[in-house]
């Protein structure tokens, strides 16, 4: 951890050539783009329920139609081909495949993903499937959701179904996307589905997401060919103390434990951090962790997925800052169990439309630190990008120079990390399309491709053309 004033982490601005075989891609999530929420046997997920609850999502927006990818997937894959993407990271909608979260699969749901994977392969694009990007079948939430062990067991069964159906086409798999959001925003602050606000439930959910991950890796390995790859994607918080004081340094330690090490500890080291257990002892004795769980959770991975957008700056609570920063919505409930004496501060510098500070040094620091901590585990940046207030001009063009500058800076940080020894194998731009941005509805645009929501028309932004050139050449040009 370093202080908020840290600068550097990149070399002088010159053209940068990435290693041969570096994977260039873009990413999406099922609920954010698919729509067709009641077609072909799909039943409600927790995000359907949450979005249809008044007051939960800005402007009352829902994912009922989203970008209509379920019907326009051929058009979207054609766009990926035009942009020269080497890979596409998408998520499977659990309630589209297994509507109740248990029992046999719905073949029409699997057929959608079979067709998608086939089309990607025909275009020379590697399909990268994520099993879970937050759309838990509502029936499983009604039975207790992620705070209950049975959900982890159901997740493993779903993983086996997906791998058996798609393993002949899809060779790269991710179990969970950002389990921190699922646990602490979904069950702690309530700004994500299912909208519960119980700190103990959040900690229980974190453990059962970890367990579900481990059980899913076991199921994937059993069903997939030996050359398939298994991973998990974590939204790492690059935590920085506001000052170098002992109190601020300890505040950063607390948040690092809750944001990062609650997952990397059991997944990659086979144990929960002792300081995390002590920090949360007033809330729970962690007796929901059973004998054998940690062995199940810590199954070997082929690479670690890293999502990064902005650093997190914290201090001891002293009346400044806020007590409830997560970047995803406001709540009177904290997503940080046992960290009531920590305050969050806005980092310096330019910001995106989300209000997130633009700081590529955070990505550089994160990659180099993880490479040092886990030197035998390859890294892939599975999400990085920014929302800006994009619009189509009278000529129908979408110019987004701020996004180009953001991505350029972060790609420079990735390249510098590689130069300094980090084993980074790929980069996925978030997101391919403008889409449903969770609690913000359609008010925030992260896409490289502009979507006119009333018509569904896709317009590649200037950043899409720029990124396509980088991906085709493997070279980041000088500014």
Active site (catalytic) residues: 178, 383
What is the distance between the alpha carbons of residues 107 and 96, in angstroms, rounded to a whole number?
Answer: 9
What is the distance between the alpha carbons of residues 101 and 138, in angstroms, rounded to a whole number?
Answer: 8
């Amino acid at each position: 951890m370093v202080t908020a004033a840290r600068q550097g982490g990149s070399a002088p601005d010159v053209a940068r050539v990435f290693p041969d075989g570096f994977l260039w891609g873009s990413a999406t999530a099922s609920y954010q783009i698919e729509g067709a929420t009641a077609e072909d046997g799909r039943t409600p997920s927790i995000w359907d329920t949450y979005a249809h609850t008044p007051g939960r999502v800005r402007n009352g927006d829902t994912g009922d139609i989203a970008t209509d990818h379920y019907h326009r997937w051929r058009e979207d894959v054609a766009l990926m081909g035009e942009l020269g993407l080497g890979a596409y990271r998408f998520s499977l909608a659990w309630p589209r495949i297994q509507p109740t979260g248990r029992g046999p699969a719905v073949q029409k749901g699997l057929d959608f993903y079979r067709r998608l994977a086939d089309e990607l392969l025909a275009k020379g694009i590697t399909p990268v499937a994520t099993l879970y990007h937050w759309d838990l079948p509502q029936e499983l939430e009604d039975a207790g959701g992620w705070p209950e062990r049975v959900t982890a067991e159901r997740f493993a069964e779903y993983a086996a179904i997906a791998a058996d159906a798609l393993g002949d086409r899809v060779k790269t798999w991710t179990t969970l996307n950002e389990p921190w959001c699922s646990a602490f925003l979904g069950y702690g602050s309530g700004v994500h589905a299912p909208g519960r606000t119980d700190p103990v439930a959040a900690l229980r959910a974190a453990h059962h997401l970890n367990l579900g991950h481990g059980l899913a890796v076991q199921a994937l390995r059993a069903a997939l060919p030996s050359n398939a790859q298994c991973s998990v994607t974590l939204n790492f918080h690059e935590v920085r103390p506001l000052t170098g004081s002992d109190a601020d340094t300890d505040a950063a330690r607390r948040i690092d434990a809750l944001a990062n090490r609650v997952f990397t500890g059991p997944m990659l080291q086979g144990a929960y951090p002792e300081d995390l257990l002590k920090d949360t002892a007033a809330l729970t004795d962690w007796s929901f962790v059973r004998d054998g769980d940690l062995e199940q959770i810590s199954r070997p991975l082929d690479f670690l997925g890293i999502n990064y957008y902005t650093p997190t700056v914290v201090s001891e609570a002293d009346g400044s800052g806020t007590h409830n920063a997560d970047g995803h919505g406001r709540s009177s409930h904290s997503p940080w169990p046992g960290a009531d004496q920590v305050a969050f501060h806005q980092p310096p510098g330019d910001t995106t439309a989300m209000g997130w500070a633009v700081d590529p040094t955070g990505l550089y620091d994160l990659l180099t630190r993880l490479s040092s901590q886990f030197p035998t585990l390859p890294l892939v940046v599975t999400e990085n990008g920014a929302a800006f207030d994009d619009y189509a001009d009278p000529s129908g063009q979408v110019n987004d120079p701020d996004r180009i500058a953001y991505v350029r800076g972060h790609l420079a940080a990735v390249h510098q990390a590689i130069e300094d020894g980090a084993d980074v194998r790929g980069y996925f731009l978030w997101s391919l399309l403008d889409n449903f941005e969770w609690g913000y509805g359609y008010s925030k645009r992260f896409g490289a491709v502009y979507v006119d929501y009333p018509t569904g028309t896709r317009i590649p932004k200037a950043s899409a053309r720029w990124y396509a050139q980088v991906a085709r050449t493997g070279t980041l040009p000088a500014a």
